[in-house]
Chains A and B, each alone.
Chain A
Amino acid sequence: MLGQNEQGIKKRMEGRVLLNKILMVLFFLATTVGLVFLVLLFYRVLTQGIGYLNWNFITSFPAPYPEKAGLWAGVMGSIFLMLIVAVFAVIVGVSTAIYLEEYAKQNKFTDFIRVNIQNLAGVPSIVFGLLGLTFFVYMFNFGYTLIAGGLTMALLILPVIVVSAQEAIRSVPSEIKEASYGMGASKWQTIARVILPASIPGILTGTIIALSRAIGETAPLIIVGAATAIFTLPDSLLAKYTVMPIQIYNWTGRPQEEWQYVAGAGIIVLLAILLLMNSIAVIIRNKYQRRL
C-alpha cells in the first residue's frame, strides 16, 4: 500500500519536473521572439537601404527620382525642431520639477498637477497634434511653421522631462542640501548652486531620451503641417520645414519599389542618430552615477 503510494508520487514528481523544464524553455523562447524581431528589423532596414545610402543622399534635397532624392531638408529640419523643443521643454519641464520637488506644499492643487502630468503622458501623440493645430497653427496664427511644430512637440515630451527631472532632483542626498542651508544659503541659492548642479547628469539623460522620442515622432507633425517636399532650409521660426520621419513616411507610401530603398536609407540615418543620442545618454549616466 505504502509502496504503491510512493510509486505514484514519484511518477507525478517526474511529470512536474518535466513540465517545469518545458515551460522554462517556452518562456525563454517567448523572450527571444522580441529579440528576433529586433534583429530582423535592423537586418531588413540595412539590406534595403544600404544601396541608396551615400553622402549625396544625406546632403541632397528631395527629388522626383529615387537616385537623386535626399534627406538634407529632413536632417536640418529635425535638428532645428529639436533645438526649439529642447529650449522650451527643458525650461518649463525642469522648472515644473523644481516647483513640485522643492516648493510645492502637500495639498490638493499639487496632487492635481501630479495626476495631470501622469495623465498627460498617456494621451496619444496625435491628440497633441490636434491641440497644436487649433492653438499654434490657427489661433496664434503661426501657420504650418517650425515654431508651431516645435511647441507642439515640446508639450508632447514635457511629461517625460518633468518626471525624469523630478527623479534626478529627488536623488540629490539631503545631507548636501542641509549643509548648504547650514552655511547660511537661501532656498534659491541652494537650488541653483547645489541641487541643480548635482542633478544635471540625470536631467541631461532624461532630456536626451525625451528628445530621441521626439525626433522619431511623426503623427503630430503631420497634423500641424510639416511639409513633405521642401527645397530650402528653414531660416526663421516662421519658416516651412520638414523632418526625417515625415520624409521617410512619404517615401514609404510610394508604390514604386525603388522608393522603399530610399525610405530604408532614410531609416538608417534616423536610427543612427537615435543610437548616437542614446549612447550619449548612457555614457553620461554611467559616468556620473558613481559619484553621487
Chain B
Amino acid sequence: MDKGLQSEGNVNVQQMIEDKKRSKSLGEIIEKIIPWFLLLCAIVSVLTTAGILFTLLRESIGFFANVSIIDFYTGTDWSPWTGHYGVAPLIGGTLLITLIATLTAVPLGLMSAIFLSEYANDKARRVIKPILEVLAGIPTVVYGYFALTFITPMFQTFIPDLGIFNALSGGFVVGIMIIPMVASLSEDAMNSVPNALREGAYGLGATKFEVVFKVVLPAAFSGIVASIVLAISRAIGETMIVTIAAGATPNLTFNPTDSIQTMTAFIVQAATGDTTFGSTIYYSLYAVGMTLFVFTLVMNLIAQYISRRFREEY
C-alpha cells in the first residue's frame, strides 16, 4: 500500500467506521434485551397475585390442620385467645359494616351522580366533582379519627346508650368515604347515555325527573350497578375506620349500636398483639385474610361481569 494513504485522516475514518459498527451492535443488543427486561417487570404483577394466592392458601392449610375447616365456617364463637375459632362473628361484623355503608353511600352517591350529570351546569360540575373526589383521597386513619371523636359523640346525642365503639358510626363513615366511588362511576355511566334518548323523551313532553327515571337510569343501569358493587367491595376490605371506631368485640349481631369486630379489624388486632410466628393465631390471620380475599374477589368479578355483559352499546 502506498504510504500516503495511511495518513492520520484515513486511520480516523476507519476507526470511526469501527466505532460505528461496535456501537451499532451494542444498540442491537439493547434492542434485544430491553423487551425481556420489560416483560420481566410486567411479570412482577403476575407474581404478586401468585404470591397472594400462595401465601393465603399455604398458611390457611396450616391453620386448617389445627382447626377443622367446618368448625371455622360454622362456629359462632370467635375468641382465638381461648382457642375458639368460629369465624361467623367476624363475617357478621363485616357484613353489618358493609350494609350500613351501602345504605349511606348508595342513595347519596346516586343522587349526587344524578345531580351532577343531569341537573348541574358545566361550571358547577367542574367545581363540585373534584371536591367530592377529595373524600376518596383522605387517609382512612383520618376517617377513623373523625368517626371516633366526632361522629360517635354526635350520634350519642340522638341515641344516648350508644357505646364509644359501635358499628353505626364506623359503617356510616365508611359510607361517606365510598360516596365518590358511587357518584363518579355512576355519573360516567349516565354521561355515556346519548343525548338523543333524552331529547326524544323531552319531545314527548317528559319533565326532567321523568327523563332521569325512565330513560337515563335504565340506560345506565349496568354501569350504576357495577359502581355499587365496586363500592361494596371497597367497604368490605376497609380496615382502619372499623378498627378505630367499630371496636374489637367479635359479636354476631345485627344491632348497629353494638361494638363489633370485622375480619380486617381482627387481622390488625392480631398483628399488633404479641402473636408468635407459627402459632395457631398467626395462621388464623391468613384463614381470615383468605375469607376476606374471596369476598372482595367475588365482588370485583361480579362488577367486571356486569359491566361487560350488560354494557349498552349506542
Contact A219 B264, beta carbon cutoff 8 Å:
yes
Q: A24-B209, A30-B107 are in contact. List 15 more A-B contacts (CB 8 A).
A: A20-B209, A28-B115, A34-B132, A35-B128, A38-B131, A38-B135, A98-B38, A99-B38, A122-B230, A124-B292, A128-B52, A130-B285, A138-B277, A219-B243, A271-B142
Number of interface residues of A (CB under 8 A): 83
Contact B150 A40, beta carbon cutoff 8 Å:
yes
Residue of B nearest to A48 (CB): B149
Binding site for A on B (CB under 8 A): 27, 30-31, 34-35, 37-46, 48-49, 51-52, 55-56, 59, 107-108, 111-112, 114-116, 119, 128, 131-132, 134-135, 137-146, 148-150, 176, 179-180, 183, 207-210, 230, 233, 236-240, 243-244, 264, 267-268, 271-272, 277, 285-286, 289, 292-293, 296-297, 299-301, 304
CA distance A95 to B35 in the complex (A): 9
Contact B239 A123, beta carbon cutoff 8 Å:
no
Q: Does A153 contact B (CB under 8 A)?
A: no
Most buried by A among B142, B243, B301: B142
CA distance A79 to B253 in the complex (A): 42
Cβ–Cβ < 8 Å partners of A103 in chain B: 35, 38-39
Cβ–Cβ < 8 Å partners of B43 in chain A: 113
Contact B267 A119, beta carbon cutoff 8 Å:
no
Q: Does A62 contact B (CB under 8 A)?
A: no
CA distance A100 to B43 in the complex (A): 11
Q: Min CB distance, B169 to chain A, in Å?
A: 12
Contact A134 B59, beta carbon cutoff 8 Å:
yes
Cβ contact of A155, chosen from B39, B48, B268, B271, cutoff 8 A: B48
Q: Does A292 contact B (CB under 8 A)?
A: no
Contact A223 B271, beta carbon cutoff 8 Å:
yes
Per-residue interface assignment for chain A, residues 221 to 261, with 1 indicating a CB less than 8 Å from any chain B CB and 0 otherwise: 01101000000000000000000010011001100000010
Q: Does A280 contact B (CB under 8 A)?
A: no
Residue of B nearest to A192 (CB): B34
CA distance A81 to B285 in the complex (A): 25
The residues in A between 183 and 240 inclusive whose CB is less than 8 angstroms from any CB of B are: 186-189, 212-213, 215-219, 222-223, 225
CA distance A116 to B146 in the complex (A): 35
Cβ–Cβ < 8 Å partners of A19 in chain B: 207, 209
Contact A27 B138, beta carbon cutoff 8 Å:
no
Q: Does A16 contact B (CB under 8 A)?
A: yes
Q: Min CB distance, B271 to chain A, in Å?
A: 5
Cβ–Cβ < 8 Å partners of B300 in chain A: 119, 122
Contact B137 A212, beta carbon cutoff 8 Å:
yes
Q: Does A44 contact B (CB under 8 A)?
A: yes
Cβ–Cβ < 8 Å partners of A162 in chain B: 45
Contact A27 B111, beta carbon cutoff 8 Å:
yes
Q: Does A127 contact B (CB under 8 A)?
A: yes
Contacts A122-B296, A124-B296; is A31 near B55 (CB within 8 Å)? no
Q: Does A65 contact B (CB under 8 A)?
A: no
Q: Does A158 contact B (CB under 8 A)?
A: yes
Contact B145 A248, beta carbon cutoff 8 Å:
yes
30 pairs of residues in contact across A and B, judged by CB atoms under 8 Å: A24-B119, A27-B111, A27-B115, A30-B112, A34-B135, A35-B131, A35-B132, A41-B138, A45-B142, A92-B41, A92-B44, A95-B37, A95-B38, A96-B41, A99-B38, A99-B42, A119-B297, A119-B300, A129-B267, A131-B48, A133-B271, A133-B285, A135-B55, A186-B27, A218-B141, A218-B239, A219-B140, A222-B268, A245-B139, A252-B149
CA distance A266 to B114 in the complex (A): 37
Cβ–Cβ < 8 Å partners of A263 in chain B: 145
Contact B116 A31, beta carbon cutoff 8 Å:
yes
Q: Min CB distance, B130 to chain A, in Å?
A: 9
CA distance A271 to B139 in the complex (A): 8
Q: Does A159 contact B (CB under 8 A)?
A: yes
Contact A252 B31, beta carbon cutoff 8 Å:
no
Contact A252 B41, beta carbon cutoff 8 Å:
no
Q: Min CB distance, A246 to chain B, in Å?
A: 8
Cβ–Cβ < 8 Å partners of B292 in chain A: 124, 126-127
Contact A37 B176, beta carbon cutoff 8 Å:
yes
Cβ–Cβ < 8 Å partners of A17 in chain B: 207
Q: Min CB distance, A132 to chain B, in Å?
A: 9
Contacts A27-B114, A38-B131, A98-B38; is A112 near B46 (CB within 8 Å)? yes
Cβ contact of B41, chosen from A95, A130, A248, cutoff 8 A: A95
Contacts A122-B300, A219-B268; is A252 near B144 (CB within 8 Å)? yes
Q: Does A179 contact B (CB under 8 A)?
A: no
Cβ–Cβ < 8 Å partners of B137 in chain A: 212-213, 216, 274, 278
Cβ contact of A253, chosen from B239, B244, B277, cutoff 8 A: B244
Cβ contact of B264, chosen from A34, A99, A126, A270, cutoff 8 A: A126
Contacts A45-B142, A158-B48, A223-B268; is A126 near B55 (CB within 8 Å)? no
Contact B209 A158, beta carbon cutoff 8 Å:
no
Cβ contact of B267, chosen from A38, A223, A264, A267, cutoff 8 A: A223
CA distance A155 to B285 in the complex (A): 20
Contact A249 B240, beta carbon cutoff 8 Å:
yes
Q: Min CB distance, B304 to chain A, in Å?
A: 7
Contact A248 B272, beta carbon cutoff 8 Å:
no
